[in-house]
Chains A and B, each alone.
Chain A
């Protein structure tokens, strides 16, 4: 079983991302049904990406925005002669 898990590891990520041939997909599904380690692996790999996407959506801080507006205007004038 351990050997099998090892063979699956790169397939697991493709499986989660839906980028896998149906045949291998079936094989992986069957394996996950029997192997708790790989089930946890698949769940947590999936969650890792989800959390990363959802995690703290930082916005441009207002202080930077203010500074930026002035800087961009200045650079624009240098390039185009007007803003």
Chain B
């Protein structure tokens, strides 16, 4: 049975069909929200409320997007409401993440880490990298983080992300890029702190 057919059955009141949809999407939704919020308790609340809201609004689902995308957008609205109440850090201007300053020091804001990742990637445990990613994502303001995660974890196109977050394609692109640069820089600095010393000693 196709997902569209399962959705139709659920919309007609078949709880078993709805359970099937929940089971098909629960882990992916949980993983996404966990990255989005960085907090297990927030994640539990949002995932739970998302499925409850999905029941309330199931008649409104028209199948324009996939059911998974629909769930993602419900979860996103809740996460936004949550983070709207919290103070968000500022994003550094894009110049701060450019590679130039690291070598010539011309740009006062430029302090991008340009450390070769070969060594850390060969040696770091997956769990440790996962922790670093989580930590790094938390340093990125919500509006940038959501765009980045929708693009690369939910694998939406830039256009789809723009429609989902209600921004222009250009603004969306800029948010995705800045989040990516910021996360890259965070990881690079952590890698450098851990492996830079060793490299310097060898050379």
Residues of A at the B interface (CB closer than 8 Å) are: 2, 5-6, 9-10, 13, 19, 37-38, 40-41, 43-45, 47-49, 51-61, 64-65, 67-69, 71-73, 75-76, 79-80, 82-83
The 8 A-B pairs of least Cβ separation, nearest first, read A56-B130, A37-B99, A80-B13, A55-B130, A83-B15, A2-B100, A55-B133, A60-B30
| Contact assessment for B117 and A47 in the assembled complex, using a CB-CB cutoff below 8 Å | yes
**Chain A residues, Cβ within 8 Å of B158:** 19
| Contact assessment for B117 and A73 in the assembled complex, using a CB-CB cutoff below 8 Å | no
| Contact assessment for B22 and A72 in the assembled complex, using a CB-CB cutoff below 8 Å | yes
Instruction: Tell me how many residues of B have a C-beta within 8 Å of chain A.
Output: 57
Q: Hey, what's the 0/1 contact readout for B99-128 against A, CB within 8 Å counting as 1? A: 110111010000010111100010000110
Residues facing A in B1-52 (CB within 8 A) are 13, 15, 18-19, 22, 26-27, 29-31, 34-35, 40, 43-44, 47-48, 51-52
| Contact assessment for B100 and A51 in the assembled complex, using a CB-CB cutoff below 8 Å | no
- Is the C-beta of B156 less than 8 angstroms from some C-beta in chain A? no
Is the contact region of chain A dominated by helix, strand, or loop, or is it mixed? Answer: helix
Smallest CB separation, B106 vs chain A (Å)? 7
Is the contact region of chain B dominated by helix, strand, or loop, or is it mixed? Answer: helix
| Contact assessment for B116 and A65 in the assembled complex, using a CB-CB cutoff below 8 Å | no
Smallest CB separation, B111 vs chain A (Å)? 13
Within 8 Å by CB of A72, from B18, B34, B187, lies B18
**Chain A residues, Cβ within 8 Å of B27:** 57-60
- Is the C-beta of B183 less than 8 angstroms from some C-beta in chain A? yes
| Contact assessment for A48 and B187 in the assembled complex, using a CB-CB cutoff below 8 Å | yes
Q: List 15 A-B contacts (CB under 8 A).
A: A2-B100, A9-B181, A13-B180, A53-B152, A53-B153, A55-B126, A55-B133, A58-B31, A64-B47, A67-B48, A68-B22, A68-B26, A69-B19, A73-B15, A79-B55
| Contact assessment for B34 and A37 in the assembled complex, using a CB-CB cutoff below 8 Å | no
Which residue of chain B has the shortest Cβ distance to A68 in the bound complex? B48
| Contact assessment for B52 and A64 in the assembled complex, using a CB-CB cutoff below 8 Å | no
| Contact assessment for B31 and A57 in the assembled complex, using a CB-CB cutoff below 8 Å | yes
If the complex has contacts A52-B133, A56-B134, A79-B56, are A44 and B184 also in contact, measured as CB distance less than 8 A? yes
Smallest CB separation, B185 vs chain A (Å)? 9
Q: How far is the CA of A67 from the CA of B134 in the complex (A)?
A: 26
| Contact assessment for A2 and B52 in the assembled complex, using a CB-CB cutoff below 8 Å | no
- Is the C-beta of B177 less than 8 angstroms from some C-beta in chain A? yes
